[in-house]
Chains A and B, each alone.
Chain A
Amino acid sequence: MFWSHHFVPFSRISKMSRKWQYGISMLVLITISAICFALSPYMAPQLVAFILLLALSLIAMFFDILPVLLSALVSALIWDYFFLLPRYNLRVGNTGDRILLSMYFVIALVNAVLTFKIRQMEKEARDKEEKAKTLKLYNTLLNSLSHEFRTPIATIIGATDNLLAEPSRLTGTDSRRLLTEISRASMRLNRQVENLLNTSRLESGFIRPRKEWCDLRELISSTIQHLDEWIGRHLVKVEIRKGFPLVRLDYGLMEQVLTNLVYNAALYTPAGSTIRITADCEDENLIIIVEDNGPGLPPAEIDKVFDKFYRPELARTGGVGLGLSIVKGFVEAHSGAIELKNIPAGGARFVIRMPVEKLSIKQTGKWVTPKY
C-alpha cells in the first residue's frame, strides 16, 4: 500500500484516460521485448518471461484492470511468438513449454487481479480515513460552535427572562446592565455568524479576489472606524508613508483581513496596549504589518494560530478560532502569505506579504480631464 502515498506523480498516471493507459502499457511491453529480443542470444526464454512478468507487475500497479489484462495477454503472445522455441510462430514445441506458457499466463492474470484488488482496498481505506478526518473536524466545529453560540444565547435568554418576569424587582441600573449584556451577546453572535459565512466561502473554493484600485490609507482608516466600539480602550497607530501608491486588491476581503487582525490584537492584549499597523512596498510586494505590545504567544502555539478552530490555551475570551484562518485564506487568495512572530520586546507581529500591482499617484496627472 506504499506506492500511492509515496509516489505522488504516479497516482496521477492512474487518472490518465484509458486510451493513454493502453498506449503506454503496450509501448512498455514492446520496448522491453525489443531489448530482450536484441539480447536473446544471451538470455534463456525463461529469463525473458520473468522480465515480462516484472514489467506487467509495474503496469498493474498504476493502470486500470482492462489495460492490465490486455497487457497480460499480449505479453504472453509476445513471449510465445518471439522467444519460446520454435520461434516466430505461436506453436509450442513440448509439454514442458506448454505448461510454462499456461503458467505464465495464469501468473500474469493473478498478478493483475491481485494488484488491482489491493489498490481498490487501499482506495477504500483512504476514503474511510478522509471521512474520519472530516467527521473529526465536524465534531470540533460543533463543539466549539455550540459553546460559542450557547454562551451568548444563554445570556440573552437569561437576561430577557429577568426583564420580562419581574421588572419591578429590578433597579434601573440592573435593567440597564442586563440590556447591555443582551446587546453585547447579540453582537458576539453576529460576529460568529460572519466568521462562519466567510469560512464556508473559503471552503467552497469560491473566493476569487475582485481586484480594484484601492487607497490603502483609506482601507486601513475605514477598518479602524468600523471597529471603534471594540478597540476603544486600545491605542491604534497607523504608519504609511506620504504618496503611497494605489494598489490593486479586493477591498472587501482585505478589509476583513485587517478587521480580524486588529480585532484579534484588541482581544488578546490588555486595555491600554498599542496596536500598530504599518504598510510598505518592497519590490513587487505589498507588506502590511499588524503588531501589538501585549504578551505575545507561547512559542509552541505560534505555528497553530492559523489553523481552523485553534484557540489559544488559557483563552479568556470568546472566538471559535476561525478569525485567523480566514485571514490566512483571504491573504492566500491574493497569492500572498502571512506569518506571525513574537517581538523580542513583547507582543505579536503579523506580517502580510503579497504581490500587487501599483499605481504611482504622480501618474494621475496624465489622466483625462473630467467632463466639466
Chain B
Amino acid sequence: MGHPEILVIDDETAIRRLLEITLQSNGYSVTHAATGKAGLIEAARRSPDLIILDLGLPDESGHETLKKLREWSSRPIIILSVHSHEKDIIAALDNGANDYLVKPFRTGELLARIRSALRGTGPEDTRPLISFGAFEIDLSARTVKKGSESLKLTATQYALLALFGRNEGKVLTHQYLLREIWGADHIDQLQYLRVFIAQLRKKIEKDPNRPEHILTESGIGYRFIGEP
C-alpha cells in the first residue's frame, strides 16, 4: 500500500484545511467533499481507505450519509462532530461508524484513531493469537497467557476479553457488549458489564485505577487498546 487515501467530508473549510495539512504531513493522501452528496460521489469514485465524516452537513444529516455509505462500503468511517451528545454518538456507532471524535479534538488522538481503524480493515479479524502488553489471547485454545503463565479467567471474563481483543481500538457500546456476551435480552443490564470490567481490569491492568487497556468512553461504552 502506498499512501493510504483518506476522504474528508466536512463543510467547514477551516477544518478541511487543518485535516489536509495534518494528514498529508503524516503520510496520507487526502481528498475532500463539502456536502453529503459530493461525499458519496467521491467515496464511490475513489474508494478511499478511510472516510472522516462530519455529522452536521449542509445538505443532509451526516447520519443519513453514513447509512448510505454503509449500504455498499465497508471501509472504516470515523465520525468527527461538534455534537458531544451520547445519543448522537451511539446512533452513529450503531449505524456502522467505526469510531468518533468530538470537535475540538487533539491531533495526536485523531492520528491514533486513524491508525487503529486502518489496522482493523477487513471484514473479520481472524487471527488465532492476539497479543497485547505482556498478554497473549489464544482464540482457538480459549486461553490467555501472561508470559508463560496462564491467566485464570472465568468464562465470562474470557469472552469479554476475547471480544475486546478482536475489536482492538474500536469503541464498543454498552449495548453491543451486553448483546454479544449475555444475549439480546440483557442489553439493559449495564450492571453486569460494570462488574466484569472491574474484574477484568484487576487481572490485566498494571494499575486498575489508571487503566491503559480497557478505557471508559463515558456514557457510551469501552475501547480496548493493545499497546498504549
Contact = CB atoms under 8 A, between A and B. Distances in A.
B183 A371 contact: yes
Interface string A195-233: 000000000000000001111011001101100000000
Contacts of A359: 191
Contacts, number: 61
A212 B186 CA distance: 14
A225 B86 CA distance: 20
B209 A370 contact: no
A215 B195 contact: yes
B104 A368 contact: no
Interface residues of A, number: 26
Contacts of B208: 221
B28 interface: no
A370 B198 contact: no
Interface stretch (B5-13, B41-49, B92-100, B210-218): B210-218
| B contact patch SS | helix
B155 A372 contact: yes
B159 interface: yes
A367 B159 CA distance: 16
Nearest to A371: B183
Contacts of B155: 369-370, 372
A225 B198 contact: no
A251 interface: yes
Nearest to B103: A190
Contact of A246 (B191, B209, B210): B191
A255 interface: yes
A215 B194 CA distance: 6
A225 B156 contact: no
Nearest to A364: B195
A186 B218 contact: no
A225 B214 CA distance: 13
A272 interface: no
Interface string B176-203: 0000011100100111101101100000
Interface of A: 186, 190, 212-215, 217-218, 221-222, 224-225, 238, 246, 251-252, 255, 359, 361, 364, 367-372
